Copies of this chain bind each other. A is one copy, B any other.
Amino acid sequence: MADIKRVGFVGLGIMGAPMAKNLQKAGFELHIWARHPEEAQELVAGGMIWHESLAECAAAVDAQITIVGFPPDVEAVYLGKDGIIANARPGAYVIDMTTSSPTLAQRIEAEAAARGLHALDAPVTGGDVGARDATLAIMVGGAEDDYDACLPLFRAMGTAISHMGGPGMGQHTKMANQIMIAGAMAGVCEGLSYARAKGIPMERVFGAVKTGSAAGTQLSGYAPRIIKDDWAPGFKIKHFVKDLRIAREEAEDAHLDLDMLRQVLLNYENLMLRDFGENGTQALMKFYESGD
Contacts and interface: CB of A to CB of B under 8 A. Distances in A.
Nearest to A188: B180
Given A175-B194, A187-B181, A258-B190, A160 B208 contact: yes
Contacts of A257: 288, 291
A216 B257 CA distance: 24
Interface in A147-193: 160, 162, 164-165, 169, 172-173, 175-177, 179-188, 190-193
A46 interface: no
A257 B194 CA distance: 10
A87 interface: no
B263 A259 contact: yes
A199 interface: yes
Interface residues of A, number: 67
Contact of A183 (B137, B172, B188): B188
A291 B259 CA distance: 12
10 contacts: A164-B204, A177-B214, A179-B187, A183-B183, A183-B188, A183-B260, A193-B256, A216-B217, A256-B291, A260-B264
Interface of A: 102, 125-127, 137, 139, 160, 162, 164-165, 169, 172-173, 175-177, 179-188, 190-195, 197-200, 204-205, 207-209, 211-219, 221, 247, 250-251, 254-261, 263-264, 267, 288, 291
